[in-house]
Every structure is written in structure tokens, then in C-alpha cells.
């Protein structure tokens, strides 16, 4: 049977739950069955969802509450959604404890790192100098800058190369990455572009948006295929 993969969503006006179709299309293309996760902070519901789902895809979206990594809000901080933060951290904890696959994308990359004890840049342009353009002014499928992929990582195994081009739509970014996580890719300005767990079957996060590239980029398609295959191979 094809694995069932839960995908988190964003909210507008605290009522509408929204998700770009690109996420679910990418999961379907890779052989998975996408299931959109509704907002809830109920512990019992979150535990049951984590039991039923074979994998978790943490999607992109708004900013993350800096109090979660012991910082005060900076002027460049955008709109936050504390309920989303709470729900996604609870889901991450459940999936980590069950060693079920997780793929974090953009905001999903950041909340995964925070949930596992890491820190963040609240606003890259005001906190880090000599930056590349990380909020590209180009079509979403366009690969705008390069990344360096560390050899010996799962990401390197999937991409089969040390340098790749990715798209970029963010102003926040991962800063400290703590064990059992390791950085698996960085951009030329030193921004963390991907990390993965060294203790779990498949826990990976990328700062770019591979779901927007799967139809033209084999590397992005291979990333989703590897994630879906890991979800399929549950113990």
C-alpha cells in the first residue's frame, strides 16, 4: 500500500487553512497519499494522527515565535502563529519518538530545528551580513543559487553531487544545529540550507522548496521519492 503522509498547513485570518497544491502533487508524484493535517492542539488527536500517518511533511509558511528559542522579537520578525508552532512541535515529538520519517521544508525546516533544541535567525537581512538573495524575485520553480552538500550525508546520497542549485523564499533561517542533527548543506554565504538526523531512519529538512521544482528538476523529485520510500518502509 502507498504510504499516507500528513502535510501541515498555514492559516489565514485564524480560520482558513491553506496549502499550496505543489506539496500534495509532489507527494502523489512520488507515490505517496497526501493527507492534509487540520489545526489542533489536542494531545489525544495529535497522538492518534501520528499513529495513523506513515510520514510527516512540515510545509512552509509564516514566521516562528522567537520565545521558543529564548529570544525577544526583533523588528524584522513577521507574522507568527503560536497555535501552529505548538501543534507542529507536538507532532514532531511524536514522530521522533516513533522514528517515523519527517521532511521539513522552509518554515518546516526551521520549526523542526527549534523543536529539537536549535536556534534561528529571526530576520537574516538584519542579523547576518554579506548575504545572497534568499527571497528570490523569480518564478518559484527557478533555481536561483547554489548550495554545497556535505559528503557522507543522506542528502548527498540522494542528490549524488556536492553542488546543486535550489530556489529560495525565506527571510528566517536555521542558526545552531544540535546533535543528533548535522548540517548537510550550506549556501555560499554560510546560511544553513539543509540538515538531517544521524540517529533516525529519515529526519531531514531543507530550506528551499523542492515541491515547486519536482516537475523540472530530477534532484527535487528524487528527494521526495526518497522520503516517500522511507515512509513506505515502516518497521
Angle between helices 82-98 and 107-115 (to 10 degrees): 70
- Give dist(CA 151, CA 10) in Å, integer: 34
User: Of 132, 130, 106, 196, which Cα lies nearest the Cα of 159?
Assistant: 196
Task: Kindly provide the b/e burial profile for residues 189-219, where b requires at least 16 CB atoms within 10 angstroms of the residue's own CB.
Answer: eebbbbbbbeebebbbbbbbbbbbbbeebeb
Annotated active-site residue 209? The verdict is yes
State which H helix or E strand residue 170 sits in. none
Q: Tell me the three cell numbers of residue 221.
A: 523529485
Annotated active-site residue 150? The verdict is no
- Given the residues 106, 109, 134, 196, select the one marked as catalytic: 106
User: Of 142, 107, 152, 151, which Cα lies nearest the Cα of 220?
Assistant: 142
Annotated active-site residue 200? The verdict is no
- Given the residues 134, 145, 170, 209, select the one marked as catalytic: 209
Q: Tell me the three cell numbers of residue 217.
A: 528538476
What's the start-to-end Cα distance of the chain, in Å? 14
List, in sequence order, every residue forming a beta bridge with 63; answer none if it has no partner.
80
- Given the residues 88, 193, 196, 211, select the one marked as catalytic: 211
Q: Would you name the residues annotated as active-site residues?
A: 106, 209, 211
Amino acid at each position: 500500500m502507498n504510504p499516507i503522509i500528513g502535510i501541515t498547513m498555514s492559516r489565514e485570518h485564524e480560520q482558513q487553512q491553506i496549502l499550496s497544491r505543489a506539496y500534495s502533487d509532489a507527494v502523489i508524484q512520488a507515490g505517496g497519499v497526501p493527507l492534509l493535517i487540520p489545526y489542533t492542539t489536542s494531545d489525544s488527536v495529535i497522538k492518534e494522527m501520528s499513529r495513523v500517518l506513515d510520514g510527516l511533511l512540515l510545509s512552509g509558511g509564516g514566521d516562528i515565535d522567537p520565545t521558543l528559542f529564548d529570544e525577544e522579537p526583533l523588528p524584522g520578525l513577521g507574522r507568527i502563529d503560536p497555535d501552529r508552532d505548538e501543534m507542529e512541535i507536538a507532532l514532531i515529538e511524536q514522530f521522533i519518538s516513533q522514528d517515523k520519517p519527517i521532511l521539513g521544508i522552509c518554515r518546516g525546516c526551521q520549526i523542526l530545528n527549534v523543536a529539537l533544541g536549535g536556534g534561528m535567525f529571526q530576520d537574516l537581512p538584519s542579523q547576518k551580513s554579506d548575504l545572497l538573495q534568499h527571497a528570490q524575485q523569480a518564478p518559484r520553480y527557478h533555481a536561483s543559487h547554489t548550495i554545497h552538500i556535505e559528503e557522507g550525508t543522506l542528502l548527498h546520497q540522494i542528490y549524488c553531487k556536492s553542488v546543486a542549485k535550489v530556489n529560495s523564499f525565506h527571510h528566517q533561517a536555521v542558526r545552531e544545529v544540535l546533535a543528533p542533527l548535522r548540517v548537510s548543506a550550506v549556501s555560499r554565504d554560510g546560511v544553513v540550507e539543509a540538515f538531517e538526523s544521524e540517529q533516525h531512519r529519515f529526519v531531514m529538512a531543507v530550506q528551499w522548496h523542492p515541491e515547486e521544482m519536482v516537475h523540472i528538476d530530477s534532484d527535487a523529485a528524487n528527494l521526495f521519492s526518497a522520503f516517500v520510500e522511507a515512509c513506505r518502509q515502516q518497521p
